[in-house]
């Protein structure tokens, strides 16, 4: 079945309208990305206006109708580029305004000389450039790094850029080889691709926003609110992956319990108790190691999974954490009270996370029975008193 060019224009306007309304509806469900979705919706609105002007360009002087269509379309592509940059909190407002001004001037100065050539070939170049920059921006974006839908979003904008780059350089050659009728075929191919792009591009952005929000919710569910450390759930979900990735290599686990924490809360108040917890969390995060997984298990109990760390190194890090915590707690610029920590080190022959945690807990309870403020190892003959 053959679809005429006018029908393709109407189909493009329809798909753009539906996509824009869907994005505006989704803004309510994603307040953190409402601005990005609003900018993207604005881009689709510019496309719609550009299509409407293009469909009625015969009612205007040739240069004015083609020039206005091109400026509106480029406004849409630049808004899409700004939506992509907005994922990382950036904007290209000034550069976009300058680009639109340059395009308008080019149409006024040169478009009058060869409007058909500009419409069929030259106008495709800025579209290819803007779409290519959108693909590059998405590829480099830190906000959506690692998201499953990012390669798809990059591919959609990249393929759109390549299509228009091909239109700019190949369509003159094809028209010369096969005659003016080839321009009609290229126009239909352009509109067919536009229909696909008007659906795929907005949906790829929406997939990025939804997936990013899902990742943030997962991160929140695995993060302790007070200290910012991972929680018990994260220890098992991330810790098991660490152990699987390091099969045959040393991995140590330290368990921590702040000494007499209930007495600190009762004597100094819960605000001071929270300061003590936050202080220990900062020291644990800084001193456990760059690749370590520090965790707040609950209350005054903490743990740290130490990849590529043997028992000797784990004891050294534990001693440093205990010494720094005790010194920082009594400083005048800190909580200003005496606070210490008891530490247990898991036996090195434990290879599953539950076993390691149980082994470290056993060593920790022994440290508490022996007077607290010390480090005990589940491995025989490895005992170290804290500073």
Residue 238, burial from CB neighbour count under 10 angstroms (0-12, 13-18, 19+): middle
Same domain, 11 and 40: yes
Determine the Cα–Cα distance for residues 131 and 93; give it in Å rounded to an integer. 16
Q: Of the residues 221, 248, 274, which one is the last residue of a structural domain?
A: 221
Question: Would residue 317 count as lying in a domain?
Answer: yes
Q: How many CA atoms lie within 13 A of 139 on its CB side?
A: 11
Distance of CA 37 to the CA centre of its chain: 15
Same domain, 209 and 237: no
Tokens representing 302 are 């903490």
Residue 358, burial from CB neighbour count under 10 angstroms (0-12, 13-18, 19+): middle
Average pLDDT of each block of 10 consecutive residues along the chain (387 residues)? Answer: 74 93 93 94 96 83 74 94 96 91 78 63 86 96 93 96 86 64 72 91 96 90 90 90 84 95 91 93 93 94 94 93 92 82 89 90 94 87 51
Q: Of the residues 221, 251, 278, which one is the last residue of a structural domain?
A: 221
Provide the pLDDT for residue 117.
59
Crossing angle of helices 150-178 and 181-221, rounded to 10°:
170
Distance of CA 54 to the CA centre of its chain: 37
Sign for the CA dihedral angle at 376, 377, 379, 381 comes to: negative
Longest Cα–Cα distance in the chain = 94
**Domains contained in the chain, number:** 2
pTM: 0.75
Same domain, 51 and 103: yes
Determine the Cα–Cα distance for residues 97 and 119; give it in Å rounded to an integer. 21
* Cα angle, residue 213 at apex, residues 208 and 215 outer, rounded to 5°: 95
Distance of CA 209 to the CA centre of its chain: 9
Determine the Cα–Cα distance for residues 124 and 41; give it in Å rounded to an integer. 22
251: helix, coil or strand?
A: strand
Question: Would residue 322 count as lying in a domain?
Answer: yes
β partners of residue 182: none
115: helix, coil or strand?
A: helix
Provide the pLDDT for residue 253.
95
Same domain, 345 and 377: yes
Same domain, 257 and 185: no
Provide the pLDDT for residue 219.
85
Q: Is 304 left (phi over 0), alpha (psi -120 to 50) or beta?
A: beta
Residues in the chain: 387
**Residue 258's domain is classified under what CATH number?**
3.30.70.270
Same domain, 72 and 198: yes
30: helix, coil or strand?
A: coil
Same domain, 263 and 379: yes
Give the domain extent around 99.
5-221
Same domain, 151 and 87: yes
Same domain, 200 and 97: yes
Long-range contacts of 365-373 (CB under 8 A, 24+ apart): 367/342, 367/343, 368/257, 368/259, 368/342, 372/259, 372/260, 372/340, 372/342, 373/259, 373/322, 373/326, 373/340, 373/341, 373/342
β partners of residue 307: 251
Query: Is the Cβ–Cβ distance between 302 and 325 less than 8 Å?
Result: no
Same domain, 294 and 202: no
Question: Would residue 227 count as lying in a domain?
Answer: no
Question: Would residue 226 count as lying in a domain?
Answer: no
Residue 159 CA: distances (Å) to CA of 36, 269, 299: 22, 61, 53
Provide the pLDDT for residue 179.
63
Question: Would residue 264 count as lying in a domain?
Answer: yes
Same domain, 194 and 266: no
307: helix, coil or strand?
A: strand
**Residue 177's domain is classified under what CATH number?**
1.20.1070
Q: Of the residues 165, 200, 221, which one is the last residue of a structural domain?
A: 221
Question: Would residue 294 count as lying in a domain?
Answer: yes
CB atoms within 10 A of CB 63: 17
Same domain, 351 and 302: yes
Provide the pLDDT for residue 351.
77
């Amino acid at each position: 079945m053959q679809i005429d060019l006018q029908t393709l224009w109407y189909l493009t306007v329809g798909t753009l309208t539906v996509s824009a309304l869907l994005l505006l509806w989704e803004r309510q469900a994603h307040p953190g990305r409402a601005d990005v979705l609003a900018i993207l919706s604005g881009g689709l609105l510019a496309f719609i206006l550009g299509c409407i002007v293009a469909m009625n360009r015969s009612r205007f002087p040739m240069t004015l109708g083609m020039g206005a269509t091109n400026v509106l379309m480029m406004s849409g592509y630049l808004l899409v580029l700004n939506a992509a940059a907005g994922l990382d909190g950036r904007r290209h407002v000034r550069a976009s305004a300058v680009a639109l001004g340059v395009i308008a001037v080019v149409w006024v100065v040169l478009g009058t000389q060869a409007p058909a050539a500009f419409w069929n070939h030259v106008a495709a170049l800025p579209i290819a450039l803007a779409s290519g920059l959108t693909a590059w921006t998405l590829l480099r974006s830190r906000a959506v790094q690692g998201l499953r839908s990012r390669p798809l979003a990059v591919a959609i904008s990249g393929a759109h850029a390549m299509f228009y780059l091909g239109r700019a350089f190949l369509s003159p050659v094809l028209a010369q080889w096969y005659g003016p009728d080839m321009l009609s075929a290229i126009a239909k191919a352009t509109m067919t691709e536009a229909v696909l792009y008007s659906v795929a591009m907005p949906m790829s952005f929406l997939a990025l926003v939804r997936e990013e929000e899902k990742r943030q919710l997962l991160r929140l569910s695995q993060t302790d609110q007070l200290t910012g450390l991972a929680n018990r759930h994260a220890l098992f979900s991330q810790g098991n992956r660490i152990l699987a990735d390091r099969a045959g290599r040393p991995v140590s686990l330290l368990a921590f319990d702040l000494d007499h924490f209930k007495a600190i809360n009762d004597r100094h108040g819960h605000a001071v108790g929270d300061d003590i917890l936050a202080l220990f969390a900062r020291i644990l995060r800084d001193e456990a190691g760059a690749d370590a997984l520090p965790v707040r298990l609950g209350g005054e109990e903490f743990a740290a999974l130490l990849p590529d760390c043997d028992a000797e190194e784990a004891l050294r890090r534990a001693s440093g954490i205990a010494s720094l915590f005790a010194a920082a707690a009594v400083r005048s610029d800190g909580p200003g009270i005496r606070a210490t920590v008891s530490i247990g080190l898991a036996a090195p022959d434990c290879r599953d996370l539950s076993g390691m945690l149980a082994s470290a807990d056993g060593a920790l309870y022994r440290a508490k029975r022996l007077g607290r403020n010390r480090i005990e190892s589940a491995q025989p003959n490895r005992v170290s008193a804290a500073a």
